[in-house]
Amino acid sequence: MTDDTPRTGGSQGYLRIATEEAWATQDLFDAWDRKMAEPGADPGFVGLAGFYTASQAERPQNIKRRLLDLGEERIADMDATGIDRQLLLLTAPGVQVLDTAEGVALARSTNDVLADAIRRHPDRFSGLAAIAPQDPAAAAEELRRGVTELGLSGAVVNSHTQGRYLSDQEYWPIFEAAEALDVPIYIHPTGLPKDMIRPFQEAGLDGAIYGFGVETGLHLLRIITAGVFDRFPKLRIVVGHAGEALPFWLFRLDHMHAATVRAQRYESMKPIKRTISEYMRENVYITTSGMAWEPAIRFCQDVLGADRVLYAMDYPYQYEVDEVRTHDNLGVDAATKKALYQTNAERVFGLGSR
């Protein structure tokens, strides 16, 4: 029998860089617990954070333990699945559900913990800064500190902030900072906002099964149609889960966007310079987190370009060695596979240059 366990070290012709890998601190869990105990706590926040912090079932218990480890267990898990490097993102909903002052302070202290782990394991970990968009100026400043002082590779935003979207101009200082620093912003799913969640949650469809993708795709579409990339043409946005289904929709999005703008139907949908699919090919990168499925990955490479699709595992939520094998065995040429696993991530996140 041959041993087909994926190995680290690049002997297959590429390093495996996983780009949407989650982590957390006990301080964050404690802050969530205090916030969830307040009267009128947000149902999307409680549905997500309450499950992972309090459920006694085996899967959430294993996930919670692994989220908290930035050392031996995580590196052993990476070794066992052939992952050379993880790009670490503070898990959803991060600090965005907290009161403004606490969110700002916890983003800072959390980024210090992350930078420390990266200093201890520079050959295995990179990371994105957590920011608190509740205070846009402080968020932009923390992104700047994270990149220039801590060596982080951009920022993660766990989608909406208490029902608000980065398409609103009050948040654009964050985009301005990202463009000036030449780092991407990863928009990651979170529990649905309270104005959206009811029809999803009553059917059990609000989480990663479907609601996450709908809401995060909506977030990116709002950013595109609000003209963010006209104002910040060099800005890079990354989304996971094979582009949160947007690549499959591009034909209809372009058609209906043009028709809606022409009809001047919405004050909020003004003409923008390019089509939605053009921004998707020029400003957006997508990862394969949670979508280890050859037809979907190849479709995305086809419609967006092989230079825009990056590998992600979504550890520890999707810790599956078979999914690494799926990516290893894709029916694409060696250069495309190396781009998927290694060189796209190095270029988009500036790995090795900071």
Asked if residue 314 binds Mn ion (CB under 5 A), the reply is yes
Amino acid at 127: G
CA-wise closest residue to 31 among 129, 114, 100: 100
> Do the beta carbons of residue 181 and residue 131 sit within 8 Å?
no
Q: Which is nearer to ligand 1DF, 217 or 290 (CB)?
A: 290
Residue of 208, 296, 321, 332 interacting with ligand 1DF (CB under 6 A): 208
- Spot the catalytic one: 4, 27, 314, 322: 314
Asked if residue 314 binds ligand 1DF (CB under 6 A), the reply is yes
Amino acid at 210: Y
Q: Which does 139 bind (CB under 5 to 8 A by kind): ligand 1DF, Mn ion, none?
A: none
Report the phi/psi class of residue 239: left, alpha or beta, with left for phi > 0 and alpha for psi in -120 to 50: beta
How far is 181 from 17, CA to CA, in rounded Å?
22
Asked if residue 243 binds ligand 1DF (CB under 6 A), the reply is no
Least Å distance, CB 353 to ligand 1DF, is: 27
Residue closest to ligand 1DF when measured from CB atoms: 208
Residues 274-303 that bind ligand 1DF (CB under 6 A): 289-290
Least Å distance, CB 313 to ligand 1DF, is: 10
Asked if residue 244 binds Mn ion (CB under 5 A), the reply is no
Least Å distance, CB 190 to ligand 1DF, is: 7
CA-wise closest residue to 146 among 171, 116, 189: 116
Binding mask 55-94 for ligand 1DF (x = CB under 6 A): ------------------------------------xx--
E-strand spans in 181-331?
Answer: 185-187, 237-239, 284-287, 309-310
CA-wise closest residue to 288 among 49, 19, 8: 19
Say how many residues touch ligand 1DF, by CB under 6 A.
Answer: 12
Asked if residue 189 binds ligand 1DF (CB under 6 A), the reply is yes
| b/e sequence 27-37, b meaning 16+ C-beta within 10 Å | ebbebbeebbe
Residue 309's SS3 state is strand
Residue 73's SS3 state is helix
Residues 14-73 that bind Mn ion (CB under 5 A): 20
Asked if residue 317 binds ligand 1DF (CB under 6 A), the reply is yes
- The answer to whether 254 is a known catalytic residue is no
Which one-letter DSSP state was computed for residue 169? G
Residues in CB range of 342: below 8 A, 6 or more apart: 14, 15, 16, 17
Residues near ligand 1DF (CB under 6 A) are 22, 48, 91-92, 189, 207-208, 240, 289-290, 314, 317
Residues near Mn ion (CB under 5 A) are 20, 314
User: Which residues are known catalytic residues?
Assistant: 314
